[in-house]
Amino acid sequence: MQRVCFLLKVKPERLEEYKRRHQAVWPDMLDALRDTGWHNYSLFLRDDGLLVGYLETDDFEAARQAMAAREVNARWQADMAPFFEALEGQRPDQGLMTLTEVFHLD
């Protein structure tokens, strides 16, 4: 199982709305994430907008490609893009910065 951690930056003025949107993620988006191998997926948000994502998957690149092929993902990414800083024309799922794992207890 591959563990993945990534960062994005939410615009500070959009923090509360971003949190509200994630209290009601579309059911078809949740199904697509599960169906494409995104397991134990969590998002953590700092007060200054730093967003940390964590997930486990068999193959992160395959999971990303499978999600990219889903129509619901295109709608979700378009809806979420205005919340983020520094995407430089990319969708949020393309602009995330992955971190290198340097330690795992087990």
Active site residues: 22
Strand runs labelled E in 1-106: 2-9, 39-45, 50-57, 97-98
- End-to-end Cα spacing for the chain: 12
Distance of CA 32 to the CA centre of its chain: 13
